[in-house]
Amino acid sequence: MSRRGRVLIIAGSDPIAGAGLQADLKTVTALGGYGMTAVTAITVQDSAQLFQVVPMTADLVMAQAQACLKDVGADCIKLGMLATTDIVLAVADLLRHYPSIPVVADPVLRSSDGSLLLDETAQSPLYHQLLPHVTLLTPNIPEAEQLTGRTITPANSQTDKEQAARQLAQQGPMVLLKGGHLAEDPVTDLWFDHRQLIWLRAPRQAVAAGFHGTGCTLAAAIAAGIACGHTATTAVRLAHATVQMAMADAVDWGRGQRLLRVTANAVEPCAPTRSNPTHPRP
């Protein structure tokens, strides 16, 4: 059997599995890939609130990642919550040693309830030292604003999004800028691959409580698509459709946000007859 579809997930743990590495694992598995994990932090949270965060040491995170890479290998690396400056710097160093593996990064800065998930001192190293080793970045509006220092407004959203995406892309990665935090209908994401701007639109799914883990699920679905052999642009389009379906199929089992359920219907699973994945570095 061909060794494809392997995704190493470096992210924090969410006990209810709506976000974090548990959501990533479920997504990668549903889409036909094989997920592995390096845990960056243990969180205590539910669908409504984050209660506690306990970061791992950078050495322990790297030991987990190296165990996966040296044994099973990976066709894509997916980054989520990195928690501390030490972990950001360690991951940047790790990626320097594996330049042929594409990297999808969700720059998790805060939780849905506004709690800090990345030390403020880590944001500059993330921007200047990690992003040059990232293939594809998936910030939401607040994350893009914080990383670029730009304000993205509903009145000038298209121009603001384009400027923010281009600025982030100057650090190296292709950029999928998610528009869900703006009061727009349809919700409009911007995909910039260093060559073209593509606007991805979907009707706003109006749920008062909101959805838990959409950003994690989207980035994981993109990573699975790339690991299974799709180009970055195709992986983004298929992941966008996957998340829309998962939101439509979400459940309200908790006391807060709805929890996504991912199926394989929107994205072609890994097929043994397909060729080895390409690495879509710009």
Q: What DSSP letter does each residue of 94-119 carry, written as one string?
A: HHHH-TTS-EEE----B-TTS-B-B-
User: Per residue in 50-86, pLDDT tens?
Assistant: 999 999 999 999 999 999 999 999 999 999 999 999 9
> Angle of helix 85-97 relative to helix 58-71, nearest 10 degrees?
20
Q: Where are the alpha helices (DSSP H) in 20-57?
A: 20-30
Model pTM greater than 0.85?
Answer: yes
**Helix, coil or strand: residue 200:** strand
ω into residue 186 within 30 of 0, thus cis? yes
**Under a CB-based contact definition with an 8 Å cutoff, are residues 80 and 24 in contact?**
yes
**Helix, coil or strand: residue 218:** helix
Map out the domains of the chain as residue ranges: 6-259
pLDDT score recorded for residue 269? 52
Round to whole Å and give the CA distance between 55 and 37: 15
pLDDT < 50 regions, the chain: 1, 272-282
Q: 71 Cβ partners below 8 Å, 6+ apart?
A: none
Round to whole Å and give the CA distance between 8 and 77: 5
Q: Which of 110, 129, 106 lies closest to 119 in space, CA to CA?
A: 110
pLDDT score recorded for residue 155? 81
Quote the DSSP letter at residue 137: E
CATH code for residues 6-259: 3.40.1190.20
Is 276 exposed, middle or buried, given 0-12, 13-18 or 19+ CB atoms closer than 10 A?
A: exposed
Round to whole Å and give the CA distance between 146 and 188: 19
